[in-house]
Every structure is written in structure tokens, then in C-alpha cells.
Amino acid sequence: MAAQKKGLGRGLDALLDPYSISLDEKESEKAGVLTVSVREIDTNSLQPRKQFDEDSLSDLATSIKVHGIVQPLIVKKKNNRYLIIAGERRFRAARMAGLNEVPVLVADYDEAQIHEVSLIENIQREDLNPIEEAAAIRFLMKQHDMTQEEVAARLGKSRPVIANALRLLQLPESVIDLLRDGSLSAGHGRALAGLSDETTIEQLAQECLKNGYSVRTLEERIKHLNDRKKTPAKKEKIVLSDELRDIEETFREALGTKVTLSGTNKRGKITIEYFNREDLERVYEKIFGKN
């Protein structure tokens, strides 16, 4: 089958599907797959993934020893060397497996396309930590002047997913570090990103670590804090002076009903209660002296 380079508007699959081929010798020749020495290949310094899990690489290396590399690396030729566009994890595992040569497919991408393909390949296919993924999305948007809707379409994700990922980068640096090293999950980060006060965010992050909060528990904790903020604090009741208490009692005796004073000697209010129409008329007559 002939490999055809596709545009960058349909996500990673549109870019890499033609290259997802079995390394049957004849098919490899038709697809333009080359076998290149690992010493002639350079990694991409703009690779968004900065950490590679050694256990995962070891498992892949074991598989490569048995089955070889099923899918070639995508590279760009630069002078007499090759720059990895997609497949750095496979490249590292191949070296770990002791391979001297790896299959590659040379793509004629410009620098902008190299950046985009590398980012998309990592975001869609690599196990990036939440901060690496968010940083890659932000770089993709800035480097290629994309909106959230556009980058969502490229990655096959919804716009809210993209927005929530980017919000993680607004968290305090101490919390970002916890997401980066896996102490907190992306779910924890999204819950904390809904808060605005940095001190509260950092305190809750530490609570999560100390108490082993699940994402659901953290969300309930945040809801409880928000509910407390919404409930207005009760005003402290002013204690009446002895003089006002005496006056309050005098009113009660004179009117024959419950009378409540609130306030101070300078300002306040009197509340007179009645319990039916006849009681109201009786209190009225007491006050105005009518029979």
C-alpha cells in the first residue's frame, strides 16, 4: 500500500494510520520503511514527555525482543541524521532491548508540523502525567495559534476536557509538583482548580496526602467548605444591661403579654407580641388608655 501524507486537521490517527503497518519485508519496501542505525537517530528536544517510566519501558523492550518493532518510528531526515517525530518511547525501548537498528519512515514535515505531530502523538498515545499533558496542550495552542475548540478537534477530545486540563496549570506550584510526581491525580487537581484561594488549595492538597482522600471525598470536602461560606454568620446577640432587663419586665407586667427589648441604652427596638384579635385590642387599650 502506498503511504500518503495526510494533513494535520484530523488528529493523530489521520497522520499515523498509513504508517501502522506490519513489517513484512515486501510491504515495508512499498511503504518506504527504512532500517536505520540507532546511532544515526536523534531525539526531539521539544518532546513534551520529560519522564519515561522505567518499568513500562522494560516491558516494551521485552516485547520488542520477542516480536520486534511492529510500528516504525516517524522521522525527518536532517543532513545525514534522523530526528524522531513520533515514537521516542519505542526508540528508547529498542535501545534497551539491545537493537542496533530500527525501522523508520521518513516524513517530509516542516518544523511546525514536527512540533504538532510530536505533541499530538504524546498526548494521545503516551502515559503523560497531568501536568505534562496540560503543558503540551498549552504549547500546541500557542505554537500553532489554536483555540480550545481547534485543539480539542485535533486530539479527539471535548472542549471541556481541554479546558479542565489547562486549568491545572493555574494551580499553586506546590500542588503542580504533586500532580507531576503522581502524589495527586488529575481528578484531585481538577477539583482543587475550582477554588480561587491558593492557601485553601494548598491546605486541601496536604489534607489529601495526609488522609488519603479519594477524588469524591475531596469534592465533598470542598462542597462542605463552599456551603459554609454561603451560610451567613449569625449575628451575636447583644446582652441587655440590667437596666434594660428591668424595663423589659416592667413592660411585660404593664401590658400582660410578652415584650422583648433588643439593643443598647442608645438604640434598639421593642417587640410586643399578641396571640389573637381580642389580645391585640386589649394591648392597644393598655397602651392608649381607652376603655
pLDDT per position as a tens digit, 127-140:
678 888 888 888 87
Residue positions annotated with a catalytic role: 88
Query: Does 120 share its domain with 197?
Result: no
Where in the sequence is the domain holding 271, given as residue range(s)?
242-288
Task: Tell me whether residue 166 is in a domain.
Answer: yes
Residue 268 and residue 204 share a domain: no
Long-range contacts of 173-178 (CB under 8 A, 24+ apart): 174/202, 174/205, 175/201, 175/202, 175/205, 176/131, 178/205, 178/209
C-alpha span between 216 and 157 (Å, rounded): 23
- Going 213 to 182 to 87 to 157, the CA torsion angle's sign is positive
The residue among 233 and 65 whose pLDDT is bigger is 65
Q: Strands 259-263, 41-42: parallel, antiparallel or unpaired by DSSP?
A: unpaired
Residue 275 lies in a domain: yes
Is residue 50 situated within a structural domain?
A: yes
* Shared-domain flag, residues 124 and 153: no
* 100 assigned to some structural domain: yes
pTM of the model: 0.51
- Both 107 and 17 in one domain: the answer is yes
Q: Is residue 228 part of a domain?
A: no
Q: What is the CATH number of the domain that holds 115?
A: 3.90.1530.30
Same domain, 118 and 154: no
Top-confidence residue, 264 or 115: 264
Both 203 and 166 in one domain: the answer is yes
In a domain, 231, yes or no: no
Pair 16, 72 in one domain: yes
Whether 57 is covered by a domain: the verdict is: yes
Q: pLDDT tens, 35-72?
A: 889 899 988 776 655 566 677 778 888 888 888 887 88
Nearest to 262 by CA among 240, 236, 243: 240
Residue among 9, 35, 23 nearest 106 (CA) = 35
Any residues with CB less than 8 A from the CB of 4 and at least 6 apart, and which?
18
Mean pLDDT (whole number) for 168-172: 94
Give the pLDDT confidence of 256-272 residue by residue, as tens digits: 889 898 888 888 889 99
Domain match, 202 and 269 both: no
Query: What pLDDT does 290 receive?
Result: 62
Q: Is residue 226 part of a domain?
A: no
- Asked if 70 and 114 sit in the same domain, the reply is yes
